[in-house]
Each structure stands twice: as structure tokens, then as C-alpha cells.
Chains A and B, each alone.
Chain A
Amino acid sequence: MSDAIFSVSGLNSGYGQSQVLHSLEFSVANREIVAVMGRNGMGKTTLFKTLMGILPGMGGSVRVGEQELVGMETPQRVRSGIAYVPQGRMIFSNMTVLENIQTGLPASAQGIVPEELYALFPVLFDMRGRKGGNLSGGQQQQLAIARALATNPKVLLLDEPTEGIQPSIIKELARTLREIVKLRDLAIVVSEQVLSFTLDAADRFFVIDKGRFVYENVRANVDAQVISGYLSI
């Protein structure tokens, strides 16, 4: 794709001796939402960690716009415009909800949380003074998403964002993601194992299996049955 804001090519990665990702290749256009679907242990989280520079990676290229990220430290990558919602939340549990969001805010925001974030997750406003660690599981997940959005990224990586979130908010989230890409220059990569959410949210689908993409299609052509097939072997 020519107007790709985020492009990955030849990405290899793994843990210690064992390679998990094998020459992954994909790109995401501005204002596009891409879903990476795959069963347990197929390498979704590994992919995201490698993209973020949390895992060292074993070669390949990751670009945001024209900028090559491979070789950069994690915070530099974030400053180049990617943001990350890890699987398992990883919120700062001893800090308040407000402070958690503020860690993501750019210096220019001067610690003021944009209204739209609270509009998205009203519960966070109610609980802004509470310690992050005391939130319920789902509330923490919402906080992690808000924290990533606060960095005002060009590319947003969401690793199984619906885990533990109540159905109404999942529906809301899908709507919101679509909303956000309409309003802002942003590309979203989201990983999931269940189809319902991504069918609501994503423009394009990849299926990852044993560290390789085995299926790719745009929403218009997507056959839910086929993907479900991959997901429920």
C-alpha cells in the first residue's frame, strides 16, 4: 500500500534460542484498523513486543512513516509515534488513575487529560483519584487503553484489548476505535482471538499461525467462517 503509515517487513523474533516469528510482512494505512487474529501461543504478543522493542527481535524492518524503528529503544519508538496496550494491562498499580494517564501524556499537555478520553471511559473520571492497582480487572484494561491513547500516537497497538471487559463496553470500544480513526490521523493494530469484536472494528484481517501469516483479507471480502476455522482448530 502506498500511503502506509506503518510497515513491517521480514520481521523475525523469538525468545532465546527459539524463534517464534518468521519473516512477517504487513503494512497499515493511515486511519486503518487491522486485526491480527490467532489462537493462543501463535505469536501475537510476541509480535507486539517486538514491534515495541521490548523483545530484541532477530532482524527485519519496522517503519512509522519514513522512520525506521529497528535499533531504537522502546521510549524512542513511542516518541516516533507508536503506542501499546499490553496484554495483561500492566498499569502502574501504586499510582492513581489520573497519574497513570498522565504518564502517557506528552509534555505539551501539561498534565491535562483530554476530555474525550474521559468521555470514552467515564469510569476513569469517577475513579481518577484511586490507585490503579485497586481497580477491577476491566477497569484496569480501560485505563491501559486510555493511557496509550493519551500519547496521541500515529500507530496504536492493542493486544487483546477486550479481555475482561464487559460486553457493552466492548461494543462501545469497537465503535470508538472507528470513531477515533475517523477523527485523527491514526492507524490501529489489534490482536484478538474472538471474531465478534474485530468484525465490528477492523478494516483488514490477518490470521497468524505459528508465527506466520496464513490468511489476509479486507473486511468486505472476509469470510467469517474461514477465520473461525483458523481460530478453532
Chain B
Amino acid sequence: MSLDKSIVLAIEDLTVSFDGFKAVDSLNLYVERNELRVIIGPNGAGKTTVLDLICGKTRSTTGSIRFKDIELTRLPEYRIVQAGVGRKFQTPSIYENLSVYENLELSYPAGRGVMGCLTFKRTETIRERIREIASMIFLDDQMETMAGLLSHGQKQWLEIGMLLIQDPELLMLDEPVAGMSVSEREKTAELLNRISAGRSVIVIEHDMEFVKRIAHKVTVLHQGKLLAEGNMESVQHNPKVVEVYLGH
């Protein structure tokens, strides 16, 4: 079967079970190019696990994940990344003891081998790119700050920046605005809308206001299975979704 050109990620019949408990249960999910997809669903629905499966952190029991014709289920993590999949973790995962600049630099996709690292030079192109990304994530005046000293929201942005600099074709964000202040949420929404141009983005989020602002299409998971899929409007009024997730 050849992939539809516009489909970047095709998850088919994906299942993973932990000691008999099926966290993801024969899931099918397709993400298109340039699409910003939001996945919602109750706590424990399997959202994070799906991302874990895509980026190779967890290995599937059965099923396939294809990213542009590449089968990801058996690739080592760093190859998946090199293929163009970037992933942000639920809690900010940055190098607290390095500066913002260094955080971004380490994520720049050059010199990824041992020798490459030893001979790596900060060229003007690289510097330029780092500055560009930094201003995109609102951190251009914090370049030399130790990442550990940033506020929670800034850390989240920095991690997004670290992914952006790799220019991935698929970007996955797990609860990017959890713990952010209201204004930061707004800025983040704006940021996501901006970066979804030219790539596909998967976002997991519980903040419905935020979802509304960014989602092209929403997928609802429940107990590892697909519960509903569609635009925000239809999903929000889906009685099943209200029942298990949104509440009355």
C-alpha cells in the first residue's frame, strides 16, 4: 500500500500492553502535512503513550507507525529524530546547567557524531539560526541565562525552540501550556500557529481554550481507542466526549 502523498504519519492497528493492560488498543491515526492536530482525552487515555510509541521511547506490541514511508517501530530513537520527528516531553526537559544559547546549539542538527562534536565550529550560519529561533520563542534577550533559571513557561518555550532548530517535519508536544500563565498561553498559541506552517504538529492538551485556538483537527482518545475525531466544534458537542472527558 502506498501512502497518500499528503499523509505524513500513518499509525495503523497500534497496540501496546503493559502486563496485560492495553494502554493503546488497535489505534489508527493519520496526520497530514501542514496539519496541527490536537489529541485530547481523559487522564490515562493513552495520549502520552502514543507519543512515546512514535518517538521510540516505548516499543509497540503490534501495529505499525509509518512516517513518510519509513517504518518507525523498530528504529532506535536517535534515528527517528534524524528522520525528522521531534518530541517535547510533558515536563520541560532542557539542560538546566547550560545557557539558553548552548541548549539551542546542542540541538542544532550538525555534528551529531563523536567526531562531528569534536570538530564542531560555531559558524555564522549556526549563530544566525540560533538567534532566529531564540527570537521566535521570545528568548532573544536571555541567550546567556542558565536554562535552570528560566521561568516554567520559558523553559517550555526553550524546549520547543530546541525542537524547532532541528526543523522537524513532525513536531509533537505533550501538554505544552501546563503550568503556564495566561499571557504565556496566548503567546504559545501564537507560536504554535506560526510554526505549524510547513510541518505537521501533534499537540496534547487539556486546556480547551487553548485547543480551540490552535486545533485544525481534534482526536479524542479513550481507553487507548479512538473515541471521536473531527473539528473542535463537533468534538466539543459530541455527547460521548462530554461524558468521559469534558464533564457537564
Nearest CB in chain A to that of B243: its residue: A168
Are A165 and B48 in contact, CB atoms less than 8 angstroms apart? Answer: no
Nearest CB in chain B to that of A134: its residue: B18
Contact of A228 with B181 at beta-carbon distance under 8 Å, contacts A138-B44, A166-B42 already known = no
Partner of A41, one of B41, B42, B151: B151
Work out how many contacts link A and B, with CB atoms closer than 8 A: 85
For chain A, the bracket of interface size reads 20 to 34
Chain A residues whose C-beta falls within 8 Å of the C-beta of B44 in the assembled complex: 123, 135-136, 138-139
Are A136 and B247 in contact, CB atoms less than 8 angstroms apart? Answer: no
Chain B residues whose C-beta falls within 8 Å of the C-beta of A135 in the assembled complex: 44
* Residue A172, interface by CB 8 Å: yes
Contact of A40 with B153 at beta-carbon distance under 8 Å, contacts A136-B43, A137-B48, A165-B206 already known = yes
Contact of A138 with B206 at beta-carbon distance under 8 Å, contacts A40-B153, A164-B90, A168-B247 already known = yes
* Residue B83, interface by CB 8 Å: no
Nearest CB in chain B to that of A123: its residue: B44
Contact of A138 with B43 at beta-carbon distance under 8 Å, contacts A41-B151, A167-B206, A193-B180 already known = yes
* Residue A233, interface by CB 8 Å: yes
Chain A residues whose C-beta falls within 8 Å of the C-beta of B244 in the assembled complex: 168
Are B90 and A167 in contact, CB atoms less than 8 angstroms apart? Answer: no
Nearest CB in chain B to that of A229: its residue: B182
Are A40 and B184 in contact, CB atoms less than 8 angstroms apart? Answer: yes
* Residue B175, interface by CB 8 Å: yes
Chain A residues whose C-beta falls within 8 Å of the C-beta of B125 in the assembled complex: none
Partner of A193, one of B45, B47, B182, B206: B182
Total interface residues on B, CB under 8 Å, equals 31
* Residue B191, interface by CB 8 Å: no
Q: Within the assembled complex, what's the spacing in Å between the Cα atoms of A195 and B183?
A: 13
Are A39 and B181 in contact, CB atoms less than 8 angstroms apart? Answer: yes
Q: Within the assembled complex, what's the spacing in Å between the Cα atoms of A224 and B72?
A: 48
Chain A residues whose C-beta falls within 8 Å of the C-beta of B184 in the assembled complex: 39-40
Are A164 and B245 in contact, CB atoms less than 8 angstroms apart? Answer: no
Partner of A163, one of B42, B153, B178, B246: B178
- Shortest A110–chain B CB gap in Å is 29
- Shortest B174–chain A CB gap in Å is 8
Are B48 and A136 in contact, CB atoms less than 8 angstroms apart? Answer: yes
Contact of A166 with B43 at beta-carbon distance under 8 Å, contacts A41-B151, A88-B91, A134-B18 already known = yes
* Residue A99, interface by CB 8 Å: no
Q: Within the assembled complex, what's the spacing in Å between the Cα atoms of A40 and B183?
A: 10
Q: Within the assembled complex, what's the spacing in Å between the Cα atoms of A139 and B42?
A: 10
In chain A between 192 and 221, which residues have their CB closer than 8 angstroms to a CB of chain B? 193-195
Contact of A233 with B183 at beta-carbon distance under 8 Å, contacts A164-B90, A167-B208 already known = yes
Are B43 and A123 in contact, CB atoms less than 8 angstroms apart? Answer: yes
In chain A between 123 and 177, which residues have their CB closer than 8 angstroms to a CB of chain B? 123, 134-139, 141-142, 160, 163-172
Are B183 and A164 in contact, CB atoms less than 8 angstroms apart? Answer: no
- Shortest A195–chain B CB gap in Å is 8
Instruction: Name 14 A/B residue pairs within 8 A (Cβ), A-sorted.
Output: A39-B183, A40-B181, A87-B179, A136-B43, A136-B48, A137-B175, A163-B179, A164-B90, A164-B206, A167-B245, A193-B180, A231-B181, A231-B183, A232-B186
3 tightest Cβ-Cβ pairs between the two chains A and B: A168-B247, A138-B43, A39-B181
B residues apposed to A, CB below 8 Å: 18, 41-45, 47-48, 90-91, 151-154, 175, 178-184, 186, 206-208, 244-248
A residues apposed to B, CB below 8 Å: 39-41, 87-88, 123, 134-139, 141-142, 160, 163-172, 193-195, 228, 231-233
